[in-house]
């Protein structure tokens, strides 16, 4: 077990190395450098003036040297400074983004689980009734709509028309921090983020529940005169939840993918937006740092998932 764990860690580290090399090459293949991103094509500037900006950033050094220098510093925990921002360290920038990212993702996932499981159970119990059809159809629509379109429409309706929610950002600028303010800013994007996943969870939950409700032990319980609510809540729900839990784990990736659109539309200061703006402005150190952090998270989560399976289910052999 320990040996397996060590092996996985080692291969994870190797993968991270390959990942950073790949991203380094990809970003340098992208046309344009940080200075090109900074220049306004409408405002003339002589190349003499531009070159003064460029030599500042050390972009004229050979590429392998730049990569090795970055790697050496990264190994010591120093991810460098942003090229487009003012003396902000990449570590600092990422640290600022981790909180809002986890908040948005966490509440998005929480809402989708609550919504998905409850509507899933409800539609299974009331199968083939009007509410079942209505909810199932809504779920299908949720899965089949582009995330950015629902986000745009949601923003327009809730914020511009009804003025129920702020139009974006993390907190009201300039106001003192208050949890209520944060909650107001969080609710709409989290809700919109959860739609796709909630719909998916609902469909799985409904199917899983229907299967369980037809099992012998449930029928036995019913036959013994246990009340329907008890049957559903005590006997069926627990067993039906298991396969859905695996699904939730595997669809967190979906939430990350959808989050980028939500962050964009709502100007939510998360990792996705940081990465997108870094790519748009060719801010190499930020791209490298953010990829490194996101990549390590994915690898660690993968290892932990595999390990926990092995611990829970003795049939799964590791190694």
Q: Give buried/exposed letters for 286-319 (b at 16+ CB in 10 A, else e).
A: bbbbbbbbbbeebbeeebeeeeeebeeeeeeeee
Contacting another protein within 74-103 (CB under 8 A): 81, 84-88, 93, 96
d(CA 218, CA 200): 25
Which of 41, 64, 77, 314 is close enough to bind another protein by CB under 8 A? 41
Q: How many CA atoms lie within 13 A of 179 on its CB side?
A: 0
Question: Of 312, 298, 186, 193, which Cα lies nearest the Cα of 249?
Answer: 298
Which of 67, 222, 277, 318 is close enough to bind another protein by CB under 8 A? 277
Contacting another protein within 254-273 (CB under 8 A): 256-257, 260-261, 264-265, 267, 269, 272-273
Whether residue 258 contacts residue 147, with contact meaning beta carbons closer than 8 Å, is answered with yes
Whether residue 143 contacts residue 199, with contact meaning beta carbons closer than 8 Å, is answered with yes
Residue 37 near another protein by CB under 8 A: yes
Instruction: State in angstroms the smallest separation of the CB of 151 from another protein.
Output: 9
Which of 24, 122, 204, 284 is close enough to bind another protein by CB under 8 A? 204
Q: How many CA atoms lie within 13 A of 132 on its CB side?
A: 13
Whether residue 254 contacts residue 197, with contact meaning beta carbons closer than 8 Å, is answered with yes
Instruction: State in angstroms the smallest separation of the CB of 190 from another protein.
Output: 15
Which of 33, 80, 103, 252 is close enough to bind another protein by CB under 8 A? 33
What track of x and - describes contact with another protein for positions 164 through 193 (by CB under 8 A)?
A: --xxxxxxxxxxx-xxxx-x----------
Beta bridge partners of residue 89, listed in sequence order: 81
What track of x and - describes contact with another protein for positions 126 through 155 (by CB under 8 A)?
A: --------------xx-xxxxxxx--xx-x
What track of x and - describes contact with another protein for positions 226 through 245 (by CB under 8 A)?
A: -----------------x--
Nearer to another protein, 168 or 226 (CB): 168
């Amino acid at each position: 077990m320990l040996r397996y764990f060590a092996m996985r860690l080692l291969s994870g580290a190797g993968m991270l190395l390959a990942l950073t090399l790949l991203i380094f090459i990809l970003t340098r293949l992208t046309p344009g450098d940080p200075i090109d991103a900074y220049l306004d094509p409408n405002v003339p500037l002589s190349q003499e003036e531009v070159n003064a900006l460029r030599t500042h950033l050390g972009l004229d050094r050979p590429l392998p040297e730049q990569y090795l220098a970055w790697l050496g510093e990264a190994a010591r925990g120093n991810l460098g400074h942003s090229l487009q921002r003012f003396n902000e360290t990449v570590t600092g920038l990422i640290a600022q983004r981790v909180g809002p990212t986890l908040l948005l993702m966490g509440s998005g996932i929480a809402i989708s689980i609550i919504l998905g499981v409850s509507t899933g159970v409800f539609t299974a119990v009331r199968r083939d009734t009007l509410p079942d059809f209505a909810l199932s159809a809504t779920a299908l629509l949720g899965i089949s709509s582009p995330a950015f379109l629902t986000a745009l429409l949601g923003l327009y309706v809730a914020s511009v028309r009804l003025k129920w929610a702020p139009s974006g950002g993390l907190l009201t600028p300039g106001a003192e921090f208050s949890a209520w303010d944060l909650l107001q800013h969080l609710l709409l994007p989290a809700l919109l983020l959860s739609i796709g996943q909630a719909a998916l969870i609902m469909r799985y939950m409904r199917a899983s529940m229907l299967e369980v409700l037809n099992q012998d032990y449930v029928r036995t319980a019913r036959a013994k005169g246990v009340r329907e609510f008890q049957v559903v809540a005590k006997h069926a729900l627990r067993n039906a939840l298991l396969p859905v839990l695996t699904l939730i784990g595997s669809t967190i990736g979906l939430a990350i993918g959808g989050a980028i659109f939500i962050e964009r539309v709502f100007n939510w200061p998360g990792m996705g937006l940081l990465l997108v703006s870094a790519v748009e402005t060719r801010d190499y150190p930020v791209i490298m740092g953010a990829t490194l952090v996101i990549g390590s998270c994915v690898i660690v989560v993968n290892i932990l998932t595999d390990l926990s399976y092995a611990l829970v289910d003795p049939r799964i052999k590791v190694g």
